[in-house]
Amino acid sequence: MLVTGTLVVGAAAGLSRGAVLASGSPSKGPGLLTYAAGMPNSRGGICLVTGRGAVRITGPASDYAPAWSPDGAELAFTRDVSAVDATDVLAVTANGHRVRDLTLGFATYNMDPAWSPNGRRIALAIGAHGGAIAVMNADGTSRRALDSTSTGFSLESPSWSPDGRWIVYSTDFGNGTPKRGIFLVRPNGRDSHQILDGGFDPQWSPNGDKIAYAIGSDPDAPQGITVMNADGSGSHVIVNRLGATHPRWSLDGRLIAYTQQGKRWNVYTVRSGGGMPRLAVRGAYDATWRPPVPLTAARTQRCR
């Protein structure tokens, strides 16, 4: 049976009221939660929280890794194309009415999109027999690989610094025994360097001074959520739970949403300085935040 997201709102989710108001609210709070519904490969699509509940923006399809443009007008995401064993990065307007495939004919696997701060470019992870971090225009043109690896390795989870000068990403490497690491690279492909041994799925904070990431050496068995300085120093654990992964900062930097893996996957929020995690959405994963800007004529299909 398909299990889709069940929203837990208000104080129980650790969110202010502004976080769950319908788009167009004057709220300057954390943003509007967006998430992949169900479990990986469950074809739950991607859902957006509004004051009337959660609205399905994409699907039903195996869509995940949502990322909003800075103006909240478009959502980029990854879609499994099971018929050809591939993944593509697509973009959809915020109301769910117009979908574009941005990576058709690029790599076999295209995933983990991340918008540049000015909204003009998208970074993504690509791969087939190896892997790379790539950058393209927001319309899918001018695709260019930056850092790349040899066969058997992978690069993933790019995130831009707020000033647009760096992209942080994670990788696994090693001969038969994956070793995780977090790296920085310029958007032009220069100055690549490692800032941390271990860790994966990094994301830059809105003010640029911190990076959150998942702890562990195996992305299938994450061990918690950590925050460090942007240079890789000063790491401290804010969530010490097996299965905690995919940290995403709220727009005001006060909260981090993350996925708690288990028999059923759920989305939690926690204060960025640490504290008690609070359940936000049951039966969901890969959460992110949308700017609270006007959303007109949205699709009416509900996530239940």
Q: How confident is the model at residue 131 (pLDDT cuts 50, 70, 90)?
A: confident
pLDDT value of residue 6: 57
User: Is the model more confident about 150 or about 51?
Assistant: 51
In a domain, 298, yes or no: no
pLDDT value of residue 153: 65
pLDDT value of residue 10: 40
**How many whole angstroms separate alpha carbon 162 and alpha carbon 26?**
23
**How many whole angstroms separate alpha carbon 298 and alpha carbon 304?**
17
**How many whole angstroms separate alpha carbon 282 and alpha carbon 170?**
27
- Other beta carbons within 10 angstroms of residue 204's beta carbon come to 22
Three-class SS state of 13: helix
In whole numbers, what is the pLDDT of the chain averaged over residues? 85
What sign has the CA pseudo-torsion 17, 119, 140, 129?
Answer: negative
In a domain, 169, yes or no: yes
In a domain, 295, yes or no: no
- Any idea what DSSP says for residue 295? -
Three-class SS state of 159: strand
% of the chain exceeding 70 in pLDDT: 81
The parent domain of residue 137 ranges over: 6-290
In a domain, 58, yes or no: yes
- Any idea what DSSP says for residue 22? P
In a domain, 73, yes or no: yes
Give the CATH number of the domain where residue 226 resides. 2.120.10.30
**How many whole angstroms separate alpha carbon 49 and alpha carbon 9?**
10
**How many whole angstroms separate alpha carbon 211 and alpha carbon 249?**
9
Nearest CA-CA partner of 291 in 31, 4, 92, 114: 31
In a domain, 35, yes or no: yes
In a domain, 236, yes or no: yes
User: Is the model more confident about 172 or about 299?
Assistant: 172
What integer is the mean pLDDT of 180-199? 92
HEC assignment per residue over 96-130? CCCEEECCCCCCCEEEEEEECCCCCEEEEEEECCC
**How many whole angstroms separate alpha carbon 78 and alpha carbon 60?**
13
Asked whether residue 165 carries a pLDDT value surpassing 70, the answer given is yes
The answer to whether the CB of 155 falls within 8 A of the CB of 147 is: yes
Query: Could you give the C-alpha distances from 196 to 23, 149, 228, in angstroms and in order?
Result: 38, 18, 10
Bridge partners, residue 251, by sequence: none
Nearest CA-CA partner of 79 in 127, 44, 117, 122: 44
In a domain, 231, yes or no: yes
The CA-CA-CA angle for residues 210, 160, 252, to 5°, reads 50
pLDDT, tens digit (0-9, with 9 covering 90-100), for 109-127:
999 999 999 999 999 999 8
The total number of structural domains that make up the chain: 1
- Other beta carbons within 10 angstroms of residue 151's beta carbon come to 8
Which amino acid is residue 136, in one-letter code? M
Query: Could you give the C-alpha distances from 275 to 201, 211, 251, in angstroms and in order?
Result: 21, 17, 19
Q: How confident is the model at residue 135 (pLDDT cuts 50, 70, 90)?
A: very high
